[in-house]
Chains A and B, each alone.
Chain A
Amino acid sequence: MTEPLASIRAERGHGDTVTVTVSGEVDASNAEEVQRACAGHIRGAAAAVLDLGAVRYLDSAGLRILVILLQDARAAGTRLRVSVPRDGFVAELLELTGLDVHLAPPDHST
């Protein structure tokens, strides 16, 4: 079996904060898996940052799980912020789809 398309790493911060870093590629083949992994890390945290800075590829399947993660976090009372490189293609995708407003407030983009 080839190496995983994407890898997820979580880092606990002060209090109930967590930073989840996704790297690699997210497409229709691994989107659900990535979603589950991320959700596991975010669950129970007061605030979470989903860092997509190391994502090399992401398409609409990836965008869809971002939306789901955000909705779930809201429902659970977790403040979830999506961090993407300001000039990267993910930011471009978010802007194209209008998701940037919901997922990555500009003042927190890195």
Chain B
Amino acid sequence: MSLLFCAVAAGYAGGSWLSWSWFGADGVGASFFPAAGITLGTMALMDRRRWPVILAAAFTAEVLVNLSHGMATAPAFGYGVANTAQPLVGALVFARAAPLPPNIARSRDLAGFLAGGVLAGPLVGGLLGAATNTWLGSGDGFARFAWEWWVGDGLGVLVVGGGILSWRAASGHPRTTRRIAETAALTLAAAGATAASFWFGVAALGYVSLVALMAAGFRVGTRGVALAGTAVAFIAAQALASGHSAFDIVEISSGDALVYFQLALAVLVATAYAVAAEVGERERAAGERRAAERFQALADRAPAMLWVTDRDGRCTYLSRGWYEFTGQAVDEGLGSGWLGAIHPADAEGVELALTHATAHREPFRADYRLRRTDDVYRRVIDSARPVLGRDGEFAGMVGSVIDVHERIEAEDALRSSDARFRALFEAIDEGYCLCEMVLDEAGAPVDYRFLEANHHVAAMTGLHDAAGRNALEMVPGLERHWLDTYARVALGDETLRFEEGSDAMGRWFDVFATPVEPRGRFALVFKDITEQRRAELALRESELEARRARRRAEFLAEVIGEMEAVDGVTARAERLMDLLVPRVADRASLVVPGNPPTVLAHRSAPGERDPAHSELRTSMETGERPEAALALELTNPDRRPYGDRDREFFAGLTARAGVLLASARVHQEEHRVALSLQRALLPNVLEVHPDIDVAARYAAATGALEVGGDWYDVFLLPDGRIGLAVGDVVGHGLESAATMGRLRTALAALAPHAAGPGELLSHLQQFTDGPNGTGFATACYAVLDPGAGELVHASAGHPPCLVVDPGGATRWLEDGRSVPLCSLGGTDRPQAVTALEPGSLLVLFTDGLVERRGASLSAGMEWLAAVAGELSDAPVEEICDRVLAEMVGDAERADDLVIVCVRYAPVPADALRRSFPAEPGELRNIRTAARTWLEEHGVEEPHRTRLLVGLGEACSNVVRHAYPDGAPGMVDVHLDAAPDGRVRVRVTDGGSWKEPGSGAPGGYGIRVIRGLNDAVTFRTGDAGTTVGFELAVPAPLA
């Protein structure tokens, strides 16, 4: 702001100073006043808000310059006011004629400049200045002063102000080096000619200046005119001020000459400006025309229709596309003629929209129907935007028109026009119908009416001639949900796609429902999917069935697996019940019919008492007559009753279970047969002498179907000694079994007569010879004298016996050995003697026990010695079992085997041995005797009662079962105390049991004996049954 003030003030002061300096001594001054041009030029370029600054600067500079030249204060300020009012009036007039800032290269702006800046402003200034001069100053002639002021300031504004304005004006001339040189040359020519005409008085040279000025206007434009004019004006002013004159030929005063010259110059410069402006306008127009031509050429080639309007909205151009599309003649559409091609209903709106857009210089967009050359109206989109001309002014609109008929048609088709729906869907192979909701008085949907239906509707719904009829009229039982669904569509404006079935119609549909105008109508596109649906349901059902079948198969497998896991008919039947209840039944029973029926097993779900609501019965093939019946019952009302499939399944399951029960029965039978066979071939009763405990095991080779050749025997010799034998007949099958039987019988028969074991084995050899004389056997025979604890033993090719001393030390009876029993054997076989301490264990065995694949016989024997040594204290039965488990386990056995464990345990002299009649009344007597013996031996509670109860149970069993035929029998009771603190009890009867092996007590009895005592054994033989047990008692036995 202050910069502007200073610049304007300095410029003004400079211009004013020059003007002062040109006043001659005669008072004739150069009225040419450049400062006026500075003020007006600056104001014309600047925003009006800056005008006060410019005016203040001019006023201040004027007043100061005046005062500095000794002018009185009043006129100094008066001229200041005049020089302030002058540019203000000039600028205001200028602004009315042309928008500021101006472009004086344009005719309009130049006219405003001349009218306001050059003529009006200086006129006002001149009048004000003259008034100041008349009333405040020296009082020169008012008119003359005003006239000179007007001319001088007008010229000042013209050349200086014009110069300032022309610098920013777009001349239309390209600024090239050639132009600059031309400008300089013309300016110099004008200046030179002017100077020459004044200083050398060559008036003719003045015309050169004139020509140069005009040439500048013509060639270079306003800028050139301003430069040349300024130069001429300054030089002339300087020349005239210094007394030179080019007007000597004219008889006028120098003052007049000055004014006239300046007036002429002003006219000249103004004319030059006008020439420049005109030339500029023409060149500009030519340039714009060239650009427009280029645009047209471009636009005509473009596929779209383009148009251009001028700033008033009149169409000035339409591209070739327009004419070709509309068929309008060239220029027919210009102005507002193009509206004639627009549909009459649309034309007015389009015109209004364009007028509005033009007035507001806004983009324009319209969608209307345009008549094509074939008189068809096509939907088009017309869009335009405002464009600015070269001068930055709004120049009109440029727009383009696109034929979007197909697109809009397509969009319309997508909208809800029932006509189009119909056209569209008549062609497709789905049911299509247009319906209308039927509402009651309250506006609630109660039915819907078919308005139209395509020919598929009848085929897909069975509803013929649906159009015009109501849904409920045609399908009286139509489900309410259809109505509700369609009400959502028709009244709720929803579009739905769903699959739904109608029982009333007996069909399934895939429905697309959409609302259509007017409200309350809806269109349906649907397909009958009943078959597809049925297929799906069938598939689902079959999948379900497959799953069910799989579950059943799994259940069946589980039943079979679980039943097979246990042995015995009862156990399997019980297991079956466990599996059935509660999983598939609340109650189940397996019963063999009869009078009374035999319940094999029965099970109820816990707390189950309700009557059954569903029952299932199947009979079971268990190998018995009559067949067992499996009954299943469901009592829980929540469970689905048994169906046909269940009956089928359980029939199958029962058949399988029946097989398993039958096989259990068969297995039990086989086992019994096997036992019988073993008992037939091997000794039943090992209970031969109270001083020894004997246990033996025979195990057949794995998978062997025939009887093996291993055997053993324990018997009492007439002299009270005990014979112990074990042997192995090589080979299997009947022949071996026969040889084995012969050897056993022969040994037992010959034993009392042989001098010793060696001699006996020698005699035995002849019995090994089979039918072919190829027999081959090994045997070990020992005789124990229980009283002396002496064992005489001999071995014929048999593995040695093992002795485990009471402390656990083991030794092999290596002596007394000879070759196997065969035809090559000699008759003189050795024997050996060893002493057995009481409590010693003797182990006899066949090689099957110590033979193992991949290990030597000696390694197996070492292993046996180690195992037996560990077990030295255990009861013989336990030793047998554990040795077998350790040595053989579950491994495959290639050979059969025998193990016989003999504990040499001489009965103490103070043992209790009593026989009682096997009668219930005797039980208390037996207990009394035993209790007395136990008390005498210091056995305290609870051991005493434990032993008594065990004894009582064993005797009670004998009393109840041993002598069923009524013949009174006896029960032998034996109690003794071993040195190691064990009380041993044995109860023996001489009964004959109906069932072999059934001499053991059952039920609670066996549990009681086993629970209260240790080492419980049962042995049943032809001569009766022995129950044995023992109990370690803590107190020292007396």
Q: Do A and B bind each other?
A: yes
Binding site for B on A (CB under 8 A): 5, 25, 27-29, 57-61, 63-64, 89, 92-93, 96-97
Q: Are B952 and A57 in contact (CB under 8 A)?
A: yes
Contact between chains at A60 and B942 (CB < 8 Å):
no
Residue in B closest to A61 when the chains form the complex, CB atoms: B956
Chain A's nearest CB lies how many Å from the CB of B1000? Answer: 13
Given the complex, which residues of B lie within 8 Å of A57, measured CB to CB?
A: 927, 945, 948-949, 952
Which chain B residues (978-1019) contact chain A, with CB distance < 8 Å? 1001, 1003-1005, 1007-1008, 1011-1012
Interface string of B289-304 (1 = CB under 8 A from A): 0000000000000000
CB contacts (< 8 Å) of B1003 on chain A: these are 60, 64
Q: Which of chain B's residues has its CB closest to A89's CB?
A: B945
19 A–B contacts, CB within 8 A, in A order: A27-B924, A27-B952, A27-B956, A28-B923, A28-B959, A29-B921, A57-B945, A58-B949, A59-B952, A60-B1007, A64-B1003, A64-B1004, A89-B942, A89-B945, A92-B942, A92-B1012, A93-B1011, A96-B1012, A97-B1011
When distances are taken between beta carbons in the complex, the residues of chain B under 8 Å from A93 are: 949, 1008, 1011-1012
B953 within 8 A of A: yes
Inter-chain contacts of B337 with A (CB < 8 A): none
- CB pair B1004–A5 under 8 Å, yes or no, is no
The answer for the CA separation of A96 and B1004 in the assembled complex, in Å, is 9
Closest A residue, CB atoms, query B951: A59
Shortest C-beta distance, B934 to chain A (Å), equals: 13
Give residues of chain B (513-528) contacting chain A, Cβ–Cβ below 8 Å: none
- B807 at interface (Cβ–Cβ under 8 A)? no
Q: Judge whether B920 is part of the interface by a CB distance below 8 angstroms.
A: yes
CA distance A25 to B956 in the complex (A): 14
- In B938-982, which residues have CB < 8 Å from any A CB? 941-942, 945-946, 948-949, 952-953, 956, 959-960
Nearest first, the 9 A-B pairs at minimum CB distance are: A96-B1011, A60-B1004, A29-B920, A60-B1005, A89-B945, A28-B956, A59-B952, A27-B923, A63-B1004
A58 to B941, CA, bound (A): 15
Bound Cα distance A58, B924 (Å)? 11
Closest to A58 in B: B949
Q: Closest B-chain residue to A64, C-beta based?
A: B1004
A89 touches B952 (CB 8 A): no
Distance in angstroms from A44 CB to nearest chain B CB is 26
CB distance from B1012 to the nearest CB of A (A): 7
Q: Which of A25, A27, A89 has the most CB of B within 10 A?
A: A27
CB <8 Å contact, B1007 and A97 = yes
Other-chain residue from B921, B941, B942, B953 in contact with A59 (beta carbon distance below 8 A): B953
Chain A residues whose CB sits within 8 angstroms of the CB of B945 once the complex forms: 57, 89
Q: Return B724 CB to nearest CB of chain A, in Å.
A: 37
Nearest-neighbour CB distance to chain A for B269, whole angstroms, equals 138
A97 touches B1004 (CB 8 A): yes
Asked if A29 and B924 make an inter-chain contact with CB atoms under 8 angstroms apart, the answer reads: yes
- Contact status of A97 and B1008, CB under 8 A, knowing A27-B956, A28-B959, A57-B952: yes
Contact B927 A60 (CB under 8 A): no
Given A28-B960, A92-B942, A92-B1012, do A59 and B924 touch, yes or no (CB 8 Å)? no
| Given A27-B952, A89-B946: A59 and B1008 interface contact (C-beta under 8 Å) | yes
Contact pick for B1005, options A25, A58, A59, A92, CB 8 Å: A59
Chain B residue nearest to A67 in the complex (CB): B1004
Whole-angstrom distance between the Cβ of B977 and the nearest chain A Cβ:
21
Which residues on A sit within 8 Å (CB–CB) of B1008? 59-60, 63, 93, 96-97
Using CB atoms, name the residue of chain B closest to A25.
Answer: B924
**Total contacting residues, chain B, CB less than 8 A:** 24
Say how far B983's CB is from chain A's closest CB, in angstroms: 16
Interface centre among A25, A60, A63 (most CB of B within 10 A): A60
- A61–B854 Cα distance when bound, in Å, is 55
Which listed residue (A5, A28, A89) contacts B949, Cβ 8 A?
A89
Complex CA distance for A107 and B949, rounded to whole angstroms: 26
Taken together as a complex, chains A and B put the C-alpha atoms of A92 and B1005 apart, in Å, by 14
A97 to chain B, nearest CB (A): 5
Q: Which residue of A lies closest to B945 (CB)?
A: A89
**Interface readout for B566-604 with A: 1 if CB under 8 Å, 0 if not?**
000000000000000000000000000000000000000
Smallest beta-carbon distance B946→chain A, Å: 7
The distance in angstroms between the C-alpha atoms of A57 and B945, with both chains bound, is: 7
Q: A27-B927, A28-B923, A93-B949 are in contact. List 20 more A-B contacts (CB 8 A).
A: A27-B920, A27-B923, A27-B956, A28-B959, A29-B921, A57-B948, A57-B952, A59-B949, A59-B953, A60-B956, A61-B956, A63-B1004, A64-B1003, A89-B941, A89-B942, A89-B945, A92-B946, A93-B1008, A97-B1004, A97-B1007
Chain B residue with the shortest CB-CB distance to A56: B945
Bound together, the chains give a CA A79 to CA B924 distance in angstroms of 32
Q: Are B927 and A25 in contact, with the CB atoms below 8 A?
A: yes
Q: Looking at B945, B960, B1003, which has the most chain A CB atoms within 10 Å of its CB?
A: B945
Q: Which of B923, B942, B948 contacts A29 (CB 8 A)?
A: B923
Contacts of A96 in B (CB 8 A): 1007-1008, 1011-1012
CA distance A64 to B1001 in the complex (A): 14
Q: How far is the CB of A76 from chain B (nearest CB, A)?
A: 19
Shortest beta-carbon distance, A37 to chain B, in Å? 17
A25 to B1012 CA separation, bound complex (whole angstroms): 18
Residues of B within 8 A of A25 (CB): 924, 927
B923 — which chain A residues lie within 8 A by C-beta? 27-29
* Measured CA separation A55–B960 after assembly (Å): 23
Q: Across the interface, which residues of A come within 8 angstroms of B1004, CB to CB? A: 60, 63-64, 97
Q: Which residues of the partner chain A approach B956 to less than 8 Å between Cβ atoms?
A: 27-28, 59-61
CA distance A29 to B925 in the complex (A): 11
A91 to B714, CA, bound (A): 42
- Taking the closest CB of chain A, its distance from the CB of B379, in whole angstroms, is 96
Residues of B within 8 A of A28 (CB): 920, 923, 956, 959-960
Chain B residues 482 to 522 lying within 8 A of chain A, measured CB to CB, are: none
Question: Which residues on the A side are within 8 Å of B960 (C-beta)?
Answer: 28
In chain B, what residue has the closest Cβ to A24?
A: B924
**Distance between Cα atoms of A59 and B1007 in the complex (Å):** 11
Residue of A nearest to B954 (CB): A59
- Give the docked Cα–Cα distance between A41 and B1011 (Å): 32
Which residues of the partner chain A approach B949 to less than 8 Å between Cβ atoms? 57-59, 89, 93
Nearest CB in chain B: distance from A104 CB, A:
15
A26 to B773, CA, bound (A): 65
Interface centre among B953, B959, B1008 (most CB of A within 10 A): B1008
Kindly list chain B residues whose C-beta atoms are within 8 Å of the C-beta of A61: 956
Give the distance to chain B from A102, nearest Cβ to Cβ, in Å: 13
In Å, the complex CA distance between A59 and B923 comes to: 11
Residues of A within 8 A of B948 (CB): 57
**891-938 of chain B: CB within 8 A of chain A:** 920-921, 923-924, 927
Per the bound structure, the CA–CA distance linking A29 and B946 in Å amounts to 19
CA A110 to CA B924, docked complex, whole Å: 28
Output the least CB separation between A98 and chain B (Å). Answer: 8
CB distance from B1008 to the nearest CB of A (A): 5
Question: Among the interface residues B924, B1004, B1011, B1012, which one has the most CB atoms of the partner chain A within 10 A?
Answer: B1004
- Closest-by-CB residue of A relative to B1011 is A96
Write the chain B residue with the least CB distance to A59.
B952
Which among A27, A59, A63 has the highest number of chain B CB atoms within 10 Å?
A59
For the complex formed, measure the closest distance between the CB of A58 and the CB atoms of chain B, giving whole angstroms: 8
Determine how close the nearest CB of chain B comes to the CB of A25; give it in whole angstroms: 7
List A contacts of B1011 (CB < 8 A): 92-93, 96-97
Cα distance A60–B1007 when bound, in Å? 9
List the B residue with the shortest CB-CB distance to A95: B1011
| Chain A min CB distance to B262 (Å) | 144
The CA-CA distance from A60 to B960 in the complex, in Å, is 12
Kindly state the separation between the CA atoms of A60 and B957 in the bound complex, as whole angstroms: 10
**What is the minimal beta-carbon distance from B197 to any residue of chain A, in angstroms?**
151
A89-B943 Cα distance, complex, nearest whole Å: 10
A29: chain B residues at CB < 8 Å are 920-921, 923-924
Minimum CB distance partner of A2 in chain B: B924
Q: How far is the CA of A64 from the CA of B1004 in the complex (A)?
A: 8
In the assembled complex, the CB of A2 is this many whole angstroms from the nearest CB of chain B, namely 8
